[in-house]
Amino acid sequence: MGDELRFHFNIDGDNFTSAGEASVEVKKKLRQLGFPPDVIRRVSIAMYEGEINMVIHARGGDADVLVYPDRIVIILEDHGPGIEDIDLAMQEGYSTAPDSVRALGFGAGMGLPNMKRYTEEMHVESTLGVGTKITMVVNVQ
């Protein structure tokens, strides 16, 4: 701790179109910092999926990105409804997204699986009625 660079974003829960701005910003910053393209791609996709989830399922939230020389940590925290069954939610294809969201191309139930696929570590803590906190780590090889 202490040496990391930290970026904070507030994710607007009402705006579907602007969802992704934080991830695109992180991508830009990591590129300026000279991280490898593959690391940048994995971080920004994992973060985007989390960002979209907070907009669709949790009325927005907060995103923090901690940049260390050897790893990037993404922390997403919301005060939405929480996830009842985390194992079920992690399965490919499981989704409670409404049709309006599906019409935009989201809601395929592949968001959490993508977050797992692109990160080395992923922890999901969730309490019904309280919110969800997701911590992901991408190692810089």
Partner 1 sequence: MTVSEMASALDLTPVSLGDTQREVTGGYTGDLLSWVMGRAQSGDAWVTIMSNANIVAVATLADTAAVILAEGVLLEPEVAELARSKGINVYTSPLSAFVLCGKLAALL
Say which entry of Mg ion, ligand ADP, partner 1, none residue 13 contacts (CB below 5 to 8 A, set by partner kind). none
Using CB under 6 A, count the residues that bind ligand ADP: 25
Amino acid making up residue 139: N
State which amino acid sits at residue 132: T
CA dihedral 7, 42, 77, 5 (to 10 degrees): -20
**Single residue of 11, 12, 13, 27 touching partner 1 by CB under 8 A:** 27
Quick one: what does residue 83 bind among Mg ion, ligand ADP, partner 1, none, with the CB cut-off 5 to 8 Å set by partner type?
ligand ADP
Name which of partner 1, Mg ion, ligand ADP, none residue 20 binds, using a CB cut-off of 5 to 8 Å depending on partner kind: partner 1
Instruction: Kindly state whether residue 60 participates in binding partner 1, applying the rule CB under 8 A.
Output: no
CB-neighbour burial class of residue 93 (10 A; exposed 0-12, middle 13-18, buried 19+): exposed
The tokens for 137 are: 């780590």
Q: What is the H or E stretch that residue 23 is in?
A: helix 21-32
Binding site residues, Mg ion, CB under 5 A: 53, 111
* Site of tokens 């069954």: 85
Q: CA-based Rg of the chain, rounded to a whole angstrom?
A: 14
d(CA 66, CA 33): 13
Whether residue 74 contacts residue 50, with contact meaning beta carbons closer than 8 Å, is answered with: yes
Query: In the complex with Mg ion, which residue's Cβ is closer, 26 or 83?
Result: 83
**Using CB under 8 A as the criterion, which residues of the chain lie in contact with partner 1 when the complex forms?**
16-17, 19-21, 23-24, 27, 37-38, 41, 44-45, 48-49, 104-106, 108-111, 113-114, 117
**Using CB under 6 A as the criterion, which residues of the chain lie in contact with ligand ADP when the complex forms?**
49, 53-54, 56-58, 78, 80-83, 89, 94-97, 106-113, 132
